[in-house]
Chains A and B, each alone.
Chain A
């Protein structure tokens, strides 16, 4: 068995899911605001972010959470495989108004197996550090 598995039916504790990188720009934040209905000003207004004492416009924590679980669903190829998903948001993600925005590297590692349900610990790392803490998903494996 390889330690990085692209086949969900060949997992063991310690198996690494194929990592992925995700880019987030101001455009992403605006689109996510519209799609989610979260129009909090700190996610698009520099003035509002500064007034709230933030170093800049920050991403929706829920956007980071949505991007991070893709490491699982891209692997199982089944969004409905996620039975449970939780995280703490450890620090804000500042998204500058540039073409590049920010890049997040998402990884996942199998930490437990219980019959056809596995637990995956998820990490979402941006240049300045980890964005999530204690992120994990319970995932049903395909039969």
Chain B
């Protein structure tokens, strides 16, 4: 089943804001096994000139995938089969560093669905904004839905 192109341009969010915590950041750092000293403790971070432990460059993916219940790609009418989906591309544009203590509002837009062969590619642009309304990060991801495009000539 092809994806529902009526979803192009669909905006979603915000749901509840995401609070960036030291615990979540350190759990992420531990998972990726990063031994950079500034991640080890608040004291180490402050000795290096940070107010708090800095946040790894790809931590923002957690916010991008936050609240999947509200995500239109999980609506049955969109027609996406989760087990056919692979991550195609990812980009983070950090307008300023994401920091522990930030309360982030997340909105997103499904900007494109394109077809290459039998695969369909969905592009989603997510905006992370802080409590002052200032942009923190723009994340652009593309998901590849394998084998769901119509066979050539079938449309």
Interface residues of A (CB under 8 A from B): 22-23, 28, 31-32, 34-38, 40-42, 48, 51-52, 60-63, 65-67, 69-70, 73-74, 77-80, 82-89, 92, 137
Contacts and interface: CB of A to CB of B under 8 A. Distances in A.
A35 B28 contact: yes
Contacts, number: 112
A63 B59 CA distance: 10
Nearest to B140: A86
B153 interface: no
B103 to A, nearest CB: 18
Nearest to B26: A35
Given A70-B32, A79-B38, A92-B86, A38 B54 contact: no
Contact residues on B (Cβ < 8 Å of other chain), bracket: 35 or more
B90 A67 contact: no
A83 B61 CA distance: 15
B88 A35 contact: no
B14 interface: no
A38 B33 CA distance: 17
21 contacts: A23-B33, A32-B32, A34-B31, A35-B27, A35-B30, A35-B31, A36-B62, A42-B83, A51-B83, A69-B57, A74-B36, A77-B48, A79-B38, A80-B55, A82-B57, A82-B92, A83-B94, A86-B91, A86-B92, A86-B140, A87-B90
B94 A66 contact: no
